[in-house]
Amino acid sequence: MAWPRQAGASQTQTFCAGQSAKGGGAPIRGAALACGFLLRRHRTRCRTAMHWFQLPANVWSAPEAQTRSCDDARRLNPPEMSGPPPVHPWVDQSPLDGAYALDANDTGTPSGQDGIVIFEREGDVALVKLNKPPHNLLEPAMTDALEVAFARAVETGCRSILLSSRMRHFCAGADLDATASGTLAKMDLIGFLQRIEDVPIPTVAAVHGAALGGGFELALACDLIIAAETAQIGLVETTLGLFPLMGGVQRAAAGAGRARAKEIAMLGRRHTSAALERWGLVNKVVADDALADAALSLARQLAAGPTVAYGAVKRIANHTARYGVEAGDALTADVAPAVWSSADLEAGLRSFLRTGSPGAVFTGT
C-alpha cells in the first residue's frame, strides 16, 4: 500500500526499515520493511442454546426436519435421512488417512471420521477439524477434545494450527442441553478460551457457514481468521437473554473498539464476513471455493516462519489485550532473550547480511 506523504513525514525513500543488522540503527534506503453466507432466511428454524438462526431448507432431507426446532432435529441421525447431505465447496472432504479422531479425555486413535475433533498433520501444519454433527455445538466433550488436539499439535512439533470444520457450519454455538442443564455455567469457559488463545504457535481459523455465539468466540481465540464470503458471524447470546460467556465481548472490544463490541453483543445480529473484515475482527475474506486452499496456504506460511519470534508476538499481543500497553512493554523484556538466542534469528541476520534481503530458511528453533 502506498501511503500519502504528509507534513513531517520522512523525505527518504523509506520511512524506516527497522534496526540495522549490524546494530546502531543506521538507515537502510530503498526497502519497505515493516515490523505490520450471509445465511438467507429460509423457513427452517434451528434453535441452539446460544442463538436462533435460519438454516437452508435442505439441511436434512427428511420432511419432519424441515419443521422441527433444533431441539428435536439435531437429535435425528443424518445417515438415516433420504439421501446424503449436500457437499459444499468450503467443506473439507479430503481422505483422513493418518488422522486421529479425538474425543474428550482421549489421547487419540487412528479411527477415521468417528471423533468429534479430527487431528492430522500436513507437513508442519496441524489440521484440527471440528467434526460433531450437525453443527459442531459446544459442550464439555467438544472443548476437552479441542484442548487435546491443540496440545497434541505442540507436543508433536507442529509450527502452526489450522482450525476448520468438516460440517456445514464452522460452529453454531453452544449445545442447548448443556446450557439448559446448567453444565455450561459450571465450566471454566474463560480458562478454556485462554488456553486455546495462548497455545505458543500461530493459529488460523477458517470460517464458513455460521460462526455464532461460542463459535465466533472460538474463532476470535485464534491469531488470524480467514472467512468465506457467505459466512455469517456474530455474538447472538442476547437473543436468549444471555451474554457471551467465553470472552467474546472482551476480544471484540480489543479488535474493533468498545462501541462496536457493544453493538455486536447487545444487538445480537448476524454479520457478513466482509463487515467484520472492515471492523478489524476478520483478517481476510475469500470466495467460498477458495477458503480451504487460502487458509492452508496461510497456515503453511506461518509454519515456515520464525516460530520463537511468533511466540513472542503472541504473548505480548495477548498480554497487552488483557492488561494494557504498559504490561505489554514490561513483558517484552522477558520474552526477548529467547528470541535473541534463537537459531532462526541467527539464520535471518546471516542471510540478510549476505544477500541484502530477507530470505532465510527458518527451522522454528
Active site residues: 217, 237
Which residue is associated with the grid cell 532465510?
360
How far apart are the C-alpha atoms of 92 and 118, rounded to whole Å? 12
**Bridge partners of residue 127, in order along the sequence:** 120, 162
Among 223, 247, 221, residue whose Cα is nearest residue 235:
247
Q: Is 330 helix (H, G, I), strand (E, B) or coil?
A: helix
Longest distance between any two alpha carbons in the chain, whole Å = 72
Tell me which residue of 128, 44, 113, 56 sits closest to 79, measured CA to CA. 113
Q: What angle do CA 171, 172, 178 make, to 5 degrees?
A: 105
Beta bridge partners of 126: 121, 161
Closest to 168 (Cα-Cα) out of 59, 54, 95 = 59
Give kind and range of the element (H or E) at residue 100: strand 100-102
Nearest to 175 by CA among 153, 127, 205, 142: 142
Q: Which three cell numbers stand for residue 46?
A: 434451528
Contact 252, 310 (CB under 8 A): no
- Which among 97, 225, 201 is positioned nearest to 149, based on CA atoms? 201
Task: Report yes or no: 125 and 160 within 8 Å, Cβ to Cβ.
Answer: yes
The one-letter amino acid code at 129 reads: K
- In angstroms, what CA-CA distances link 205 with 34, 165, 202, 303? 24, 9, 10, 14
The answer to whether the beta carbons of residues 226 and 298 sit under 8 Å apart is: yes
The three-state secondary structure class of 302 is helix
